[in-house]
Amino acid sequence: MKKNVSFIAKSVLSISILMVASSSYAQMTLEQQVASLQKQVQELQELMKKQQNTNASIQQDLHAVAQTPPPPPPPVGTKKEWNKFSTKNGAELEIYGNIRADASYQSKGADTIYNKISALPLEGSADVKKNSDRFQSTLNATRLGFNFKTPIMGEHDLGGKVEMDFFGGTGRDTFRIRHAFITLDQWLIGQTWSNFNAIENYPETVDASLSVGGSLTRVPQIKYSYPVDKNLNLAVSIEDPKAETITTTGNETVKTDPYAKLKLPSLTGRVNYRFDNGSAVSGRAFLTQKATSYGKGDEFLAWGIGAGGKLQILPKTLLRLDYNHIKGDTKNVLWTNSAYALTLNGDMKPNELDTIAIGVTQQFTPKIRGTLGFGYMRADDDNDFSKLVYADAAQNKQLAEGWINMFYNPYKPLNLGVEYMYGERKTFDNRTGEDNRVNFTAIYDF
């Protein structure tokens, strides 16, 4: 290539010299002609020198390109950009869920694999031996969900969620819909966590049923959330907690009340505040009416308040705690007594209780974390309800539960957990039951 360029340049020089000479030599003296030719030759030499430098630069660039290695292939495990799914009507669809395997070995405990501290066999009963030294396993808490988002005109957001598992029923072994709701900007319509729930405040457990003081309540509702600023959020909802059923007592024997009904939905309010370091606190309250057509018919207002938070007390230490005081309701906190009892005349006598759950989670390494937790429930034992159910083995004056666990997270979507849990219950007439077990779990999130 270099020789070709040089040949072309020399040819151009020759033609240029002939053209210049033929047009101007006739009008010049010999000295002028010689001087003119020398000047033209000098200019052409400078032009050739510039052309040679350009050719050399081009050759260097071509050589550098030839020597540049191809880009390396992406490393193994690099996350791919998946195509978005869409529904028939144009909504964007996101699929998520987990595969969860749970197991437990209990020295003493209830008749299910998961926490059921309020119904532990009482000491001296045949069920104590029946449920002792028992291994159980299940995948019922496996979960599948779908998030939807529909592009619409303007600045509005329209979406929804459907989520399901097989963790329903009294035995935690039947199919159920966990969440099914529609969202439009700050509005939510459908079934999801009660506005009174504070899932983020409960200490972490391996047991999928949480601990004393926790809640898994999901109810149909209409909720409006108002973000005051980037830290403060307010929410109010009208909820359908469903009528209480296992509430009637007569001669100190609790029966099912087929006459229980809900006249008005529950009104629930909540305030949330999030700190810049990730800590958060919340305060909640609800008010609802309970009624029955049993006997002469009676009704009362049930209510409750709650407060708690998660506090990043050290860079790798998280404190979670939650407190509730509730009168006449069983829907908003797990493992409580019946909401009320009925006298023989049909008068409703509400239960009243306090609960607390507290736990500390320590992040030991990027892949290992552990939690030490405690849950407690205390019912009022000096009211009409406690006197009516005094000899009832299904009603408890006190529940106490402690646990310690460890989670190993070898890869981002995989968690392996082990936990020791011990609990006791005490009835109003001071009979006791014991829970003593080890829980295991393996969870793969997708």
pLDDT digits (tens, 9 = 90+) for 74-92: 555 454 555 568 888 888 9
**Count of domains in the chain?**
1
Residue 21 clears pLDDT 60, i.e. is over it = no
Region 274-285: mean pLDDT is: 96
Question: What are phi and psi for residue 310, nearest 5 degrees?
Answer: -125, 125
Q: How would residue 259 be classed by pLDDT, with cut points 50, 70 and 90?
A: confident
Residue 55 clears pLDDT 90, i.e. is over it = no
Distances (CA, A) of 395 to 304, 380, 427, 444: 19, 12, 6, 37
Look at residue 275 and tell me if it is in a domain.
Answer: yes
Look at residue 215 and tell me if it is in a domain.
Answer: yes
Query: Three-state DSSP class for 18?
Result: helix
Residue 101 clears pLDDT 80, i.e. is over it = yes
Judge residue 155's burial from the number of C-beta atoms within 10 Å of its C-beta, 0-12 exposed, 13-18 middle, 19 or more buried. Answer: exposed
Look at residue 16 and tell me if it is in a domain.
Answer: no
Question: What are phi and psi for residue 335, nearest 5 degrees?
Answer: 65, 20
Residue 17 clears pLDDT 60, i.e. is over it = no
Please say whether the beta carbons of 221 and 240 come within 8 A.
yes
pLDDT digits (tens, 9 = 90+) for 297-338: 899 999 999 999 999 999 999 999 999 999 999 889 999 999
Q: Quick one: which of 347, 351, 349, 371 has its CA closest to 360? A: 371
pLDDT confidence of residue 121? 97
Please say whether the beta carbons of 186 and 224 come within 8 A.
yes
Query: Three-state DSSP class for 430?
Result: coil
Query: Three-state DSSP class for 180?
Result: strand
Least confident of 10-19, 341-350, 393-402: 10-19
Residue 131 clears pLDDT 80, i.e. is over it = yes
Give the N- to C-terminal CA distance of the chain in Å, as an integer: 59
| Type and span of the H or E element at 226 | strand 218-227
Instruction: Looking at 337-377, list the stretches that DSSP marks H as alpha helix, in order from N- to C-terminal side.
Output: none
Judge residue 156's burial from the number of C-beta atoms within 10 Å of its C-beta, 0-12 exposed, 13-18 middle, 19 or more buried. Answer: exposed
Look at residue 90 and tell me if it is in a domain.
Answer: no
Tokens found for residue 195: 């506005």
Q: How would residue 4 be classed by pLDDT, with cut points 50, 70 and 90?
A: very low
pLDDT confidence of residue 261? 85
Judge residue 222's burial from the number of C-beta atoms within 10 Å of its C-beta, 0-12 exposed, 13-18 middle, 19 or more buried. Answer: middle
Q: How would residue 72 be classed by pLDDT, with cut points 50, 70 and 90?
A: low
pLDDT confidence of residue 363? 98
Look at residue 43 and tell me if it is in a domain.
Answer: no
Look at residue 172 and tell me if it is in a domain.
Answer: no
Region 89-115: mean pLDDT is: 94
Q: How would residue 20 be classed by pLDDT, with cut points 50, 70 and 90?
A: very low
Residues β-bridged to residue 168: 174
Residue 5 clears pLDDT 50, i.e. is over it = no
CATH number, position 273 = 2.40.160
Q: Quick one: which of 398, 421, 399, 418 has its CA closest to 408? A: 418
pLDDT confidence of residue 27? 55
pLDDT confidence of residue 29? 67
Q: What is the mean pLDDT of the chain?
A: 86
The C-alpha atoms of residue 320 and residue 388 are separated, in whole angstroms, by 36
Distances (CA, A) of 118 to 207, 321, 377, 394, 399: 15, 21, 10, 7, 7
Q: Quick one: which of 401, 435, 362 has its CA closest to 128? A: 435
The C-alpha atoms of residue 102 and residue 401 are separated, in whole angstroms, by 20
Q: Quick one: which of 224, 269, 221, 256 has its CA closest to 242? A: 221
The C-alpha atoms of residue 362 and residue 269 are separated, in whole angstroms, by 32
Tokens found for residue 257: 């009340």
Region 13-40: mean pLDDT is: 58
Residue ranges making up the domain that contains 244: 101-138+194-445
The angle subtended at Cα 9 by Cα 6 and Cα 11, nearest 5°, is 110
Look at residue 73 and tell me if it is in a domain.
Answer: no
Region 126-141: mean pLDDT is: 95
The C-alpha atoms of residue 220 and residue 44 are separated, in whole angstroms, by 91
Residue 264 clears pLDDT 90, i.e. is over it = no
Instruction: Looking at 95-246, list the stretches that DSSP marks H as alpha helix, in order from N- to C-terminal side.
Output: 126-130
Look at residue 59 and tell me if it is in a domain.
Answer: no
Region 205-229: mean pLDDT is: 96
Please say whether the beta carbons of 45 and 38 come within 8 A.
no
